[in-house]
Amino acid sequence: MLLSSLNPHAVAQGADIPDAVTIADTTFSRSDLIGAATSVAERVARADRVAILAAPTPTTVLAVIGCLIAGVTAVPVPPDSGTAELAHILRDSGAQAWLGVAPGECGVELPVIPVRLHARSWHSYPEPAPEAAAFVLYTSGTTGPPKGVVLRRSAIMAGLDALAEAWAWTANDVLVHGLPLFHVHGLILGLLGPLRVGSPLVHTGKPTPQAYARAGGSMYFGVPTVWSRIAEDPESARALSSARLLVSGSAPLPVPVFERIAELTGHAPVERYGMSETMITVSTRADGERRPGWVGVPVAGVATRLRDEHGGDVAHDGESIGGLQVRGPMLFDGYLGRAEATADVWTEDGWFKTGDVAAIDADGFHRIVGRESTDLIKSGGYRIGAGEVETALLGHPQVAEVAVIGAPDPDLGQRVVAFVVLRPAADVAPEQLIEHVATQLSVHKRPREVIVVDELPRNAMGKVQKKRLGRAAQ
Ligand code: MLC
Ligand code: AMP
């Protein structure tokens, strides 16, 4: 199945697929999808880079595939982005237009190239060079605004083919998920995966247990929050027993959720580990062991190693922990326009430093223990930088000081909690500060809780002691 193309024409050489993509009550056959997306390609082909407001809609699907056909770099933008985040992504990416729908005012004006759902074209485009950038995906760091992760076409192809091999994913599968279309999980694995493999996709809209149960697929993708909600709804969970593979990723799957899903569905979930920068590098296999709390073995083409804080080797004994470093053909090219930040995440001998702490056992099984920095929060599978939320809150006129942490949460894994010192005589409710972040950044980055304090705990150097705040938030 080694197609040298990301262009869905390549898979289309076989029979048509009547239900290639179903999303928001629209079903496209494979030929329909290609005709409509090629018509988008014709309209967008003269651009280098365009922004796509990536709501889960047919428009987004056609916009993304149109870019892939034309060889235009796509910048997917969270549809709930606030004004500060929108303006940052547009300026930083250098997007020349919106393809499809434009959001409200954010201070950066771009022309809009329409996506017409009923237009068709049968023009044929050659496959762009494998090193051409397919996407710039924006993702949070520990400090500063999100950085643009540049993913080339060959990385995506290698990443998807490695997963198809690990999961025995074929055209006989029907993939179901309801994940957002602006990150690796929902967009690259969840939309481009089915197109490359030739398996139909059903996007459920919101990933509710009932919607997953109704969809009747053979493969399901979800973040742990989705699986834990399914585990609490036995009737929906039992409907998934007719599936072949239930896949969890983007955050740690709690062992009790793993066990409950296995009990209710008869399927031990497949866990896989990845990042925006690396796609998926480690996974349990369709034909291999599935061990709760462990994410499996490197996928095809990937090598991993553990390093201690001095760069020394760490034993693969299943107990010793170290910084996880990875190598493989699915890794990104760098952060857009940030040579220094890019250099920081690579070792001198060419390994990518994931920032995750892990253990590896003698059989090559990986366990993710946590992150090196407490300033990267994972909430509902979304990566959120404490620094960007702090900057947004400090932008509020009544806020004097702030510290943001990720507190343990039974539903979201971690929830964003902000400790805030207000200016003298300030009169603002926590809900207004939450709303401020939701409108500046994205709704999913908003603190779920704002705690007003008189002062923040600091050490002798004046640095905020976030560990002490963490204990206060539990
Ligand atoms: C609440 N809402 C507000 C609001 N407060 N809206 C505006 N302003 C406010 N202040 C509304 C929301 O709009 C939404 O409305 C509703 O409240 C619920 O929002 P939520 O609480 O934020 O969502 P929730 O249901 O908790 O979402 C859970 C979830 C979501 C699991 C569905 O977190 C999710 O989709 N996660 C996926 C993240 C992901 O794909 N990560 C992959 C990264 S790639 P309404 O009407 O819309 O319900 C990666 C690599 C790898 O990690 O390894 O995969
Ligand atoms: P993102 O860039 O949003 O893709 O987030 C990547 C981060 O998600 C990784 O660095 C990990 O911290 C976390 N992650 C992804 N998959 C898993 C998993 N299966 N188990 C634990 N953490 C995970």
- The arithmetic mean of pLDDT across residues 348-370, rounded, is 97
Q: Cα(86) to centroid of ligand 1, in Å?
A: 17
Residue 409 pLDDT:
96
CB 280 within 8 A of CB 249: yes
Residue 89 reports pLDDT greater than 60: yes
What confidence category does residue 472 fall into, taking pLDDT thresholds of 50, 70 and 90?
Answer: confident
Residue 320 lies in a domain: no
- What would the DSSP string read from start to end of 113-142? E---TT-------PPPPTTSEEEEEEE--S
Give the domain CATH number at 441: 3.30.300.30
Is residue 281's pLDDT more than 80? Answer: yes
At 1 the pLDDT is: 33
Rounded distance, CA 314 to CA 361, Å? 11
Q: What's the rounded Cα separation, in Å, for the pair 432 and 436?
A: 6
User: 354 C-alpha to center of ligand 2: Å?
Assistant: 9
Indicate whether 280 belongs to any domain: no
CB 261 within 8 A of CB 227: yes
Report how far residue 368's alpha carbon sits from residue 282's, in angstroms, rounded to the nearest whole number: 10
Which residues have any ligand 2 atom within 6 Å of their CB? 139, 183-184, 249-252, 271-276, 295, 354-356, 368, 371, 378, 383
Pocket test for ligand 1, best of 393, 443, 445, 449 (most atoms within 8 A of CB): 443
Tell me, yes or no, whether 279 lies in a domain: no
pTM recorded for the entire structure: 0.96
> Across the chain, what does the average pLDDT equal?
95
Q: Tell me, using a 6 A CB cutoff, whether residue 249 lines ligand 1.
A: yes
Ligand 2, atom 6: closest residue by C-alpha:
275
Give domain status of residue 285, yes or no: no
C-alpha pair distances (Å), 369 with each of 100, 190, 304, 319? 41, 26, 15, 10
Test site for ligand 1: of 208, 223, 273, most ligand atoms within 8 A of the Cβ: 223
- % of the chain with per-residue pLDDT over 90: 91
pLDDT in tens, 6-35: 766 666 566 789 999 999 999 999 999 999
Q: How far is the CA of 273 from the centre of ligand 2 (A)?
A: 6
Task: Mark which of 167, 190, 213 sits at the end of a domain.
Answer: 190
- C-alpha 416 to ligand 1 mean position (Å): 13
Residue 306: CB within 6 Å of ligand 1? no
Which ligand is closest to the CA of 353, given by its number? 2
pLDDT, position 470: 83
In the reported structure, the alpha carbon of residue 179 is separated from the centroid of ligand 1 by a whole-number distance in angstroms of 9
Mean pLDDT of 456-461: 92
Q: Could you say which ligand is closest to the alpha carbon of residue 358?
A: 2
Q: Is residue 155 part of a domain?
A: yes
Separation of 207 CA from ligand 1 center, angstroms? Answer: 10
- Nearest ligand 1 atom to the CA of 80 is 13
Q: How far apart are CA 390 and CA 399, in angstroms?
A: 10
**Which pLDDT band, with edges at 50, 70 and 90, does 191 fall under?**
very high
Tens digits of per-residue pLDDT, 123-181? 988 889 999 999 999 999 888 899 999 999 999 999 999 999 999 999 999 999 999 99
Residue 282 has which token pair?
Answer: 């480690």
pLDDT of residue 232: 98
Can you give the pLDDT at residue 50?
98
Mean pLDDT, range 81-104, rounded to an integer: 96
pLDDT band at 471 (very low <50, low <70, confident <90, very high): confident
Residue 3 has pLDDT above 70, yes or no: no
CA-nearest residue for atom 15, ligand 2, is: 250
In order of 1, 196, 313, the CA distances from 13 in angstroms are 13, 12, 48
- Supply the CATH number for residue 148's domain: 3.40.50.12780
| Closest ligand 2 atom, residue 149 Cα | 2
How many whole angstroms separate alpha carbon 367 and alpha carbon 345? 21
Shortest-distance Cα residue to atom 35 of ligand 1: 179
Q: Which domain holds residue 175?
A: 8-190
Residues in the chain: 474
The residue ranges of DSSP E strands in 63-214, in sequence order, are 73-77, 98-99, 112-113, 133-139, 147-152, 175-177, 201-203
Q: Residue 329: inside a domain, yes or no?
A: no
Please tell me the number of the ligand nearest to residue 367's CA. 2
Rounded Cα gap, residues 312 and 322, in angstroms: 9
Neighbouring C-beta atoms of residue 92, cutoff 10 Å: 19
For ligand 2, what atom is nearest to the CA of residue 371? 12
What does the pLDDT read at residue 259?
98
CA of 105 to the centre of ligand 2 (A): 32
Protein residue closest via CA to atom 33 of ligand 1: 380
Task: Determine if ligand 1 sits within 6 Å of the CB of residue 352.
Answer: no
Which residue, 190, 209, 239, sits at the end of a domain? 190
Ligand nearest to the CA of 273: 2
Ordered alpha helix ranges (H), 277-429: 339-344, 386-394
pLDDT in tens, 386-415: 999 999 999 999 999 999 999 999 999 999
pLDDT in tens, 296-326: 999 999 999 999 999 999 999 999 999 999 9
Q: What is the pLDDT of residue 13?
A: 60
pLDDT given at position 12: 55
Higher pLDDT, 357 or 474: 357
Q: Which of 279, 297, 284 is nearest to 183 (CA)?
A: 279
Q: Which pLDDT does position 2 carry in this prediction?
A: 39
CB of 211 shorter than 6 A to ligand 1: no
In a domain? residue 104: yes
Number of domains into which the chain is organized: 2
The residue out of 155, 190, 225 marking a domain boundary is: 190
pLDDT of residue 462: 87
Instruction: Tell me the mean pLDDT in the region 248-253.
Output: 98
Atom of ligand 1 nearest to the CA of 185: 54
| Best probe residue, ligand 2, of 273, 278, 295 (max atoms within 8 Å of C-beta) | 273
- For 332, the token pair is 């990104």
Domain assignment present for residue 289? The answer is no
- In the structure encoding, which two tokens stand for residue 320, read together? 């010793």
229 alpha carbon – ligand 2 mean position (Å): 19
